Amino acid sequence: MIRAYSTRLAGTLAACVAIGLIGFRPQTGLFLTLLGPLLLAIIIPALYVAWNKPQERAVQYLKLVLCVITLATGITLHVHYVQAARSSAQDVVAFVEAFRESHDRYPTTAEVEAAPFWSATRLWRIGYAHADGVVLLTYPSTNNPFDRYFYNFAQRTWKFLPA
């Protein structure tokens, strides 16, 4: 019985694993958005078959559960990525503003990169630069790597710049 299910679920498992490998990493939410409808190509026929063929319901419900778990996992991960990236970026902002208050100048790039929290920012590709009086803090969107967030230290606000 398990063997019968495994062969009938192979396509669904392959699609869910492929979507997970491609779309579950940071900065790949765009791919999750683009590949998510692929799961609809599994969900809609599974619902139809489950409705019209009672003897097929167990396999079709397993397909539905796999697809829903895949989508829910991807969405949950990307919500976490958005929050974690902003939190890491806010740590940099807090450090830069505290440094400016105590030293009456903005820290150099090397001083920020020497901070103990800096290694945690690499996953989110946070960038800080200070040259010629211009201070720049930026990181890419966790959904689309071509979109970026920039921090304006004068206004103390984040600005989203889509690609």
What secondary structure letter does DSSP report for 16?
Answer: H
Q: Could you read off the pLDDT of 126-135 as tens digits, one per residue?
A: 999 988 888 9
Residue 2 has pLDDT above 80, yes or no: no
Q: Looking at 24-158, list the stretches that DSSP marks H as alpha helix, in order from N- to C-terminal side.
A: 29-52, 57-103, 109-113, 118-121
Give whole-number Cα distances, 85 to 7, 37, 136, 162, in Å. 40, 26, 16, 17
Per domain, the residue ranges of the chain are 2-80, 87-161
pTM of the model: 0.83
> How far is the C-alpha of 131 from the C-alpha of 61, rounded, in Å?
58
Q: Could you read off the pLDDT of 44-94 as tens digits, one per residue?
A: 888 888 889 888 888 888 888 888 999 899 999 999 999 999 999 999 999
